[in-house]
């Protein structure tokens, strides 16, 4: 490297996107399922959150399948937020699949196949198997490499527990595993005898004083007791959809990575259902019903609703949660009107959770949480004005102004967003009601307005209903 050149070292950090509901950590309930006023990013909606907590408890029990829940309420009342809170409360062990109602029209497969795959993604199978493992503390490890640099490596390892110590000769495959895992003396490891997989559990407490050899992230564990060789039960958790893909001969397991699963034959699914039922009877597997969340459920058509009606009767069905902000409206694909745009026979199966509009105080708390999430320092006056805007327009519009106001403040090198920044972005970006007012006032100057013409002819065009909900 030439003199004067500088070596640039870039620190690699994990990128975290801030989404609309990234501030939500759970449902904010206490031990008796009572909703706290402000907790885990959730504000207000106490009754809806408590009801959602009961559903979460029902899912955790894992005994009841095929239940359907509808979260209904006006726009910007936290329906999707409650669903995200439920997913967080259930944790990673319980399958949670989220989709939009309009998603099924853009996929290159039939609507019922898309729904079927979504339903089966939401059902987990815990498969149990016993395996022999060697678990102990590494006392000494020797790996001899050939002097020529090619050929087989030879290695020995000494492992011990609190009661015994044994030497093992290492094969070429396990030597590679040891080198990849960077195993050294003082590590507590497990070796799977069947697969040869080496797993590093941590450092022994006896090495806790080796300050030079340990880092901040080092985990210390006790030296194992008993014999070195043990039988251990291992649990693998997969979804029914993953089993479908692996057993579908036309695609194979690589389709899990490419995402191109296509349509899976019903015969394959029937065989898998029978096999899983056999495993359940033999005690080899457990079914873990999860949750399928369908946002904007009114976008589904009558065929989808009919399919869901039938699918919910199966014992291989998850808990289905839908969300909608529609009132009495037309069922897609028919000329009939129904509450929430959902057929009456499916509504009969549902328990409905209602979300109510937020109060001004709750708006303020939500905006304060969003400011923290977006790392935005906002003055108390600015937050008050933003709360007023949220009350008069909508919460979504007010949340959008946080980022834009923060950018304005940073542009003038200020550390805090002031009332002037909020007022400036309010004038720069219109909300729905002001935009509608301008359209009504200047509609004659817009293209395709009521009574307008195309290409100078007197052809009438369809009136644009401005502000009509």
| Number of other residues whose CB lies within 10 A of the CB of residue 419 | 17
Nearest to 293 by CA among 92, 108, 95, 28: 95
Chain centre distance of CA 274: 30
- Which of 204, 187, 192 minimizes the C-alpha distance to 230? 192
Predicted local confidence at residue 250, as pLDDT: 60
What is the predicted pLDDT for the residue at 162?
84
What proportions of the chain, in percent to the nearest 5, are helix, strand and coil?
35, 25, 40
pLDDT at 455 over 70: no
Q: Residue 223's beta-bridge partner residues? A: none
Q: Give per-residue pLDDT as tens, 67-104.
A: 889 999 888 888 888 888 888 888 777 888 888 888 88
Whether the pLDDT of residue 2 is over 50: the answer is no
CA distance 66 to 105: 24
CA distance 45 to 79: 10
Percent of the chain at pLDDT > 70 equals 84
The tens digit of pLDDT for each residue in 130-144 reads: 788 888 888 888 877
Q: How is residue 331 annotated by DSSP?
A: P
Distances (CA, A) of 96 to 25, 28, 61, 120: 15, 19, 15, 11
Residues shown for the chain = 469
pLDDT value at residue 302: 92
Distances in Å between the Cα of 185 and the Cα atoms of 138, 163, 178, 179 are 5, 18, 11, 13
C-alpha 93/C-alpha 306 separation (Å) is 30
Q: Quick one: average pLDDT of 323-345?
A: 91
d(CA 51, CA 202): 42
CA–CA separation, 73 vs 358, rounded Å? 11
Look at strands 42-43 and 68-73 and give their pairing: unpaired
Longest CA pairwise span in the chain (Å) = 98
Residue 150 confidence class, pLDDT cut points 50, 70, 90: low
Task: Say if CB 288 and CB 62 are below 8 A apart.
Answer: yes
Whether 460 has a pLDDT exceeding 90, the answer reads no
Tokens of 192: 């799977």
Whether the predicted pLDDT of 242 surpasses 60: yes
pLDDT (0 to 100) of residue 232: 76
Separation between Cα atoms, residue 195 and residue 248, nearest integer Å = 25
39, containing H or E segment: strand 38-39
pLDDT for 8: 41
* Cα 238 to Cα 245: distance, rounded to the nearest angstrom: 11
Q: Are residues 410 and 378 in contact, defined by beta-carbon separation less than 8 angstroms? A: no
Q: Does this chain's domain 128-234 share its CATH topology with 360-444?
A: no
Above 80 in pLDDT, residue 395? yes
State the number of CA atoms in the 13 A half-sphere of 360 facing the CB: 9
What is the crossing angle of helices 419-428 and 395-411, to 10°?
120
CB 306 within 8 A of CB 115: no
Q: How confident is the model at residue 23 (pLDDT cuts 50, 70, 90)?
A: confident
Best CA proximity match to 102, nearest among 111, 89, 92: 111
* Cα angle 42, 319, 396; round to 5: 30
Average pLDDT on 367-373 reads 88
H/E run at residue 221: strand 220-221
Give the confidence band of 338 by pLDDT, cuts at 50, 70, 90. very high
Confidence of residue 324 (pLDDT cuts 50, 70, 90): very high
Q: According to CATH, what is the number of the domain 34-94+290-357?
A: 3.40.50.300
Confidence of residue 60 (pLDDT cuts 50, 70, 90): confident
* CATH number listed for the domain at residues 128-234: 2.40.50.360
Assigned CATH for 360-444: 1.10.8.60
pLDDT at 215 over 60: no
Whether the predicted pLDDT of 39 surpasses 90: no
Q: What is the per-residue pLDDT for 344? A: 92
Q: Where are the domains of the chain?
A: 34-94+290-357, 128-234, 360-444
Residue 330 has pLDDT above 90, yes or no: yes
pLDDT higher than 70, residue 261: no
At 377 the three-state DSSP class reads coil
Say what the pLDDT of residue 214 is: 53
């Amino acid at each position: 490297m030439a003199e004067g050149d500088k070596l640039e070292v870039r620190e690699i950090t994990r990128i975290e996107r801030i989404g609309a509901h990234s501030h939500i950590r759970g449902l904010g309930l206490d031990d008796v399922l009572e909703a706290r006023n402000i907790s885990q990013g959730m504000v207000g909606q106490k009754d809806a959150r408590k009801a959602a907590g009961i559903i979460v408890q029902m899912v955790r029990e894992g005994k009841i399948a095929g239940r359907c829940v509808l979260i209904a309420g006006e726009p910007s009342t936290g329906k999707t937020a409650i669903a995200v809170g439920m997913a967080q409360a259930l944790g990673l062990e319980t399958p949670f699949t989220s989709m939009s109602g309009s998603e099924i029209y853009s996929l290159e497969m039939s609507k019922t196949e898309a729904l079927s795959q979504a339903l089966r993604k939401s059902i987990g199978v815990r498969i149990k198997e016993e395996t022999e493992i060697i678990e102990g503390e590494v006392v000494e490890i020797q790996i001899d490499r050939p002097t020529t640099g090619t050929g087989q490596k030879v290695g020995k390892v000494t492992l011990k527990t609190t009661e015994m110590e044994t030497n093992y000769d290492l094969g070429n495959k396990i030597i590679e595993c040891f080198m990849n895992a960077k195993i050294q003396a003082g590590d507590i490891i497990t070796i799977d005898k069947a697969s040869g997989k080496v797993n590093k559990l941590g450092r022994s407490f006896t090495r806790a004083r080796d300050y030079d050899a340990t880092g901040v992230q080092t985990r210390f564990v006790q030296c194992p007791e008993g014999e070195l060789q043990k039988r251990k039960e291992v649990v693998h958790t997969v979804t029914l959809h993953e089993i479908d893909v692996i057993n579908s001969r036309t695609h194979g397991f690589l389709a899990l990575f490419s995402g191109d699963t296509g349509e899976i034959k019903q015969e394959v699914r029937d065989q898998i259902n029978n096999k899983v039922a056999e495993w359940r009877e033999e005690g080899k597997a457990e079914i873990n019903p999860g949750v399928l969340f369908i946002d904007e459920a009114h976008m589904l058509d009558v065929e989808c609703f009919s399919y869901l009606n039938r699918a919910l009767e199966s014992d291989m069905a998850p808990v289905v949660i839908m969300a909608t902000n529609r009132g009495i409206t037309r069922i897609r694909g028919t000329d009939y009107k129904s509450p929430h745009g959902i057929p009456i026979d499916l509504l009969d199966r549902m328990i409905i959770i209602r979300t109510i509009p937020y109060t001004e105080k709750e708006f303020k708390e939500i905006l304060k949480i969003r400011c923290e999430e977006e790392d935005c320092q906002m003055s108390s006056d600015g937050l008050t004005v933003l709360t007023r805007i949220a009350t008069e327009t909508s919460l979504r519009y007010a949340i959008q102004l946080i980022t834009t106001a923060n950018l304005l403040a940073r542009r003038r090198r200020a550390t805090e967003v002031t009332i002037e920044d909020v007022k400036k972005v309010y004038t720069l970006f219109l909300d729905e009601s002001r935009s509608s007012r301008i359209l009504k006032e200047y509609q004659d100057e817009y293209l395709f307005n009521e009574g307008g013409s195309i290409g100078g002819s007197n052809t009438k065009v369809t009136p644009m209903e401005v502000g009509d909900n």
